[in-house]
Chain A
Amino acid sequence: NKEQERLRVDKELGNIRNRFKKEKGLTPYDKKKYVWKMLYIYMLGYDVDFGHMEAVSLISASKYPEKQVGYIVTSCLLNENHDFLRLAINTVRNDIIGRNETFQCLALTLVGNIGGREFAESLAPDVQKLLLSSSCRPLVRKKAALCLLRLFRKNPDVVNVDGWADRMTQLLDERDLGVLTSSMSLLVALVSNNHEAYWTCLPKCVKILERLARNQDVPQEYTYYGIPSPWLQVKTMRALQYFPTIEDPNTRRTLFEVLQWILMGTDVVKNVNKNNASHAVLFEALALVMHLDAEKEMMSQCVALLGKFIAVREPNIRYLGLENMTRMLIVADVQESIKRHQAQIITSLKDPDIRRALDLLYGMCDITNAKDIVEELLQYLNSADFTMREELSLKAAILAEKFAPDLSWYVDVILQLIEKAGDFISDDIWFRVVQFVTNNDDLQPYAAAKAKEYLEKPAVDEKMVKVCAYILGEYSHLLARRPGCSPKEIFSIIHEKLPSVSTTTIPLLLSAYAKILMHTQPPDQVLQNQIWTIFTKYESCIDAEIQQRAVEYFALSRKGAAVMDILAEMPKFPERQSSLIKKAEDAEADTAEQSALKLRAQQQPSNALVVTDQHPSNGEPPPVFVGQLSVVKAPNMNNTKDHYSTEHVLSQENGNLSQVDQQPPSADPLSDLLGPLAIEGPPGATVQYENSAVSELESGPDVVDGSAIVPVEVGTNTIQPIGNIAVRFHALCLKDSGVLYEDPYIQIGIKAEWRAHQGRLVLFLGNKNTSPLVSVQALILPPAHLKMELSLVPDTIPPRAQVQCPLEVVNLRPSRDVAVLDFSYKFGTHMVNIKLRLPAVLNKFLQPLPVSAEEFFPQWRSLSGPPSKLQEVVRGVRPMALPEMANLLHSYRIAISPGLDPNPNNLVASTTFYSEDTRAIVCLVRIETDPADRTQLRMTLASGDPTLTFELKEFIKEQLVSIPTVAQAPTPPPPAAPPTPQIPPNDPAALLADLL
């Protein structure tokens, strides 16, 4: 039995210990025997804390059996941080570079399983050599690939050496599928860290995938239940997901064909293993399709497939179907098609694995379906597993709050929720409903009537007593005329519950009594006596809170009307972030299960629950309950503001550029000045400057490259961005979605929609790691002409999660200034701060407008000269053919009207510009080029607004002079600094310009 086993093991361990200790001349055979025994004892679950040295020393034995034991036992008993391992590095290295294949395998396996940083540093080149060696057998090379993967994870620098990307590309031509599978694992890790270096691998991956998916030239032994290596297929698609986009149209088309093939060619079959394998491939293909942002048609095809999966009986597939639907919600376009499956998803709530369905419902809920979904959740609450109830009710409460079609429905839902799951509901939920009732006058009589109804039921949960007593205390007087609602009746309904409640609830009841008494006009002598008796009774209560209230209410109510103000209705609450949502976010951070929830937290709530933002007006200290309700916390934004305003004070005191020295985390003096200036004052006031600092600084004498305006990355960051930030920015100026910034830890993507003078951007903050990013802060520094509002950015981004932050933009005036996103986060001990230009640029507010000759010429003539019509000869233009220039203008949303100008070397174009000040305004452009000298041209701009004419002229000029392309790194400097716009005398930016 167990006890005998333990005794036997102890005895054996003692024996081995003695042998190791005493007999120096242990024969190799004995040593081997005892080390084996140690391993078996360890595997039985006993601690073996000695003999490690003996195991490690066996590695250097020359005979296979001993060496093998050494390797195996070492890799089982020791972990990578064990000191003894260091002793073995040399021996291991000798085995790796030695000629003996078996020894190579043993060594690679050990390093691949427990190799640490030191191994990485001393062995990586040797392992790389093995992997590439043509004389090694596949058996060794595939081990080398995975061993290298381990070393890469320990220290990426040792693998990312010059030329390795090319080698990797060659490796993908490998015919042996075993080596290829291992190499693909390695590639996945490499591209996840730095996809740019490995872009040459991309077409090869597509080729491999095509070969496998179509089962071309795949040896029989590498098929798994008839499927050509599903693992390699999955890994290849995983690798492809790390490349942001696929530029080459041919590769892209091939890939989509293969994906289509996979999506359509997968059937549900009887054999479990075949089914699993083919669906593993299918789900990975789905993930890749989502990543590639495929056409709508393909997306809805995916949703349809997922819809099929959530209806099948196999629990694994159903679970994954639900999970992937939740992920798919991030791609906003498919929400409508997902809603079609709502009924099926609701059925899935009855699954034992309910979490997925709940998350999905939570994620897909909006104003249109909130009523159905929340009511389903409420109904489900009755039968739900106890462990689920708290989360379920919290989610129902949040959805009810966010998307309530009307307020009374919201009150109904919360009261039902409390009734059904009182024990599982946190206080926040009922605090919140009280807040809403207090802040919405219309709601109060309804809530009071409902509260009475619930309280009249026989067995009532204590939380229900609390919320009902509170509401009745405050608002029952509004019901006084209804039958059965006299103060006396209300009082007796509440009082009936008093014997059954705990000491924490009694104070609430006492307050309600006091309020009822106060509202009873004319005073009711009988009721007064009844209540006073109760107060007197509790005057000697052992609980201090109850005692104090009883004494005070008694005294107050005796004083009569003079001090009745204190007992008047509660003032409105200032609006706050819902503590429920905050709580949900906190809870989610623990489990790394987030996306839908975060997504939800960022979305626009229903208008039904707009709470008036009114502060206490009567000057009295807030009455008694406030202490409890203040648990609802205000969003914690103040820290950042304080921080910046301090910085600002500092810069004002110094008054010149010497402040740079005092702010070490910034290499660029301009970004320093920008930071504090744009932040100055309360957030609402920021937009009031006539000219932003950016435009002033831009024209400063020491700015050479006008196109690279100011804030790029900050020099002291140890974390290097992936890709060129400026190139990404320029690309986003032309298109509406893409990656704005990326480094090893985070990827910031952007998706934008523009309508006239308004825009809606969504920032996608994606954590690329398996640990959370903390202290996340995002601050928008808007130029004067843009009104920008960023929704709350969560402080923490959970592992592998993506958070969406909508950003609303309103264009007030024409200007070329650029908004800046000041973004920071902390990863481990690294504090990373980046300043990124946001692609909310002038051309986004343009709408191409082709015009006819009849429309063009009268307008052109009516705008006769400066300042509405400006002309300039531009030199230093990047030479380009006329069609190319037309394309360029077109890409900035300026429509070319061909044939209007009789001279074929000229271009005439027009567009509509939108801003709040100017409304829609037509701009006309004429560009006259010289076929003999393509580096110069004459440009004439006309519009009804002089500022717009000037800004648009400068904007087009900038684009013509420096066109950023990926291949062309440095852009030529602009010919001359643009003339400075007039500066209003009291503008802080003007003061700054003086200082410069």
Chain B
Amino acid sequence: VLRELSGVILTRGPRLCNFVEWRGLKVVYKRYASLYFCMCIDPDGNELEILEIIHHYVEVLDRYFGSAYYILDEILISGELQESSKRTVVRSVAAQ
């Protein structure tokens, strides 16, 4: 999965949109410097919403700059957004 997708996404130019249709699903990706973040959603999901979840995640990372994994656990469970307040996320990560 990873290999196939990185092939698809890395070859896309900067002027294309951030959504790729792939195997009947949609992949929303965003590039930050040399890092790509991808999330896979249903074809009828809301793409922009997902795009901003990624950005939300990155902002929290930015603010805390700790281990990415705990933070992801605070933001997403089961593929759904859990907490949209950055302060709450950072606080609960700090509490660990």
List chain A positions with a Cβ less than 8 A from chain B. Answer: 68, 72, 102, 105, 108-109, 112-113, 139, 142-143, 146-147, 149-150, 153, 177-178, 181-182, 185, 219, 221-222, 224, 229-232, 234, 238, 273, 276-277, 279-280, 283-284, 315-316, 318-320, 352-353, 355, 590-593, 770, 798-800
Contacts and interface: CB of A to CB of B under 8 A. Distances in A.
Given A143-B82, A276-B48, 12 more contacts: A113-B77, A177-B84, A182-B80, A221-B87, A221-B88, A222-B85, A224-B84, A280-B46, A283-B46, A320-B48, A353-B17, A770-B42
A319 B21 CA distance: 12
B38 interface: no
Contacts of B18: 315-316
Contact of A181 (B42, B44, B82): B82
A692 B47 CA distance: 52
B52 A277 contact: yes
Contacts of B34: none
A230 B17 contact: no
Nearest to A227: B52
B96 to A, nearest CB: 7
A761 to B, nearest CB: 25
B69 interface: yes
Nearest to A352: B16
B15 A177 contact: no
B51 A150 contact: no
16 contacts: A109-B73, A113-B73, A142-B83, A178-B84, A182-B83, A185-B80, A222-B85, A230-B49, A231-B81, A238-B46, A276-B48, A315-B15, A316-B48, A320-B48, A770-B24, A799-B24
B77 A224 contact: no
A588 B44 CA distance: 16
Contact of B43 (A142, A153, A800): A800
A504 B53 CA distance: 56
Contacts of A108: 77
A149 B52 contact: no
Given A230-B52, A273-B55, A146 B78 contact: yes
Contacts of B46: 234, 238, 280, 283-284
B13 interface: yes
B77 A146 contact: yes
Contacts of A234: 46, 49
- What are the 10 closest A-B residue pairs judged by CB atoms, nearest first? A280-B48, A112-B77, A592-B24, A146-B77, A315-B17, A185-B80, A280-B49, A150-B78, A319-B17, A221-B85
Contacts of A355: 21
Interface residues of B, number: 37
A316 B83 contact: no
Interface in B17-60: 17-19, 21, 24-25, 42-44, 46-49, 51-53, 55-56
A181 B84 contact: yes
Q: Identify which of B16, B44, B80, B88 gathers the most chain A CB atoms within 10 Å of its CB.
A: B80
Contact of A150 (B19, B42, B56, B77): B77
A147 B77 CA distance: 7
A230 B49 CA distance: 8
Nearest to A355: B21
B45 to A, nearest CB: 9
Given A231-B53, A591-B21, A352 B78 contact: no
Contacts of A105: 92
Contact of B78 (A113, A221, A229, A284): A113
Q: Identify which of B18, B49, B87 gathers the most chain A CB atoms within 10 Å of its CB.
A: B49
Contacts of A800: 42-44
Contacts of A72: 69, 73
Contacts of A277: 48-49, 52
B30 to A, nearest CB: 10
Contacts of A593: 21, 43
A914 B86 CA distance: 66
B43 A182 contact: no
Contacts of B87: 221
Contacts of B44: 800
B48 A352 contact: no
Contacts of A178: 82-85, 88
A139 B89 CA distance: 9
B80 A316 contact: no
A102 B94 CA distance: 12
Contacts of B48: 276-277, 279-280, 283, 316, 320
Contact of B15 (A219, A238, A352): A352
B49 to A, nearest CB: 4
B49 A181 contact: no
A316 B17 contact: yes
Contacts of B43: 592-593, 799-800
Contacts of A279: 48
Nearest to B91: A139
A790 B19 CA distance: 37
B82 A224 contact: no
A316 B77 contact: no
A796 B71 CA distance: 42
Nearest to A45: B2
Nearest to B42: A770
B81 A181 contact: yes
Nearest to B78: A150
A224 B42 contact: no
Nearest to A221: B85
A231 B49 contact: yes
A185 B56 CA distance: 18
A811 B52 CA distance: 55
Contacts of B21: 355, 591, 593
Contacts of A592: 24-25, 43
A27 to B, nearest CB: 23
Contact of A318 (B17, B47, B85, B92): B17
A153 B80 CA distance: 13
Contacts of A181: 81-84
A355 B16 CA distance: 12
Contact of B47 (A230, A316, A590): A316
Contacts of A102: 95-96
A109 B43 CA distance: 26
B7 to A, nearest CB: 14
A229 B56 CA distance: 11
Q: Identify which of B13, B24, B88 gathers the most chain A CB atoms within 10 Å of its CB.
A: B24
Contacts of B19: 316, 319
A486 to B, nearest CB: 55
Given A109-B73, A238-B46, A593-B43, A273 B82 contact: no
B51 A139 contact: no
A668 B59 CA distance: 61
A153 B56 CA distance: 26
Contacts of B24: 590-592, 770, 798-799
A53 to B, nearest CB: 22
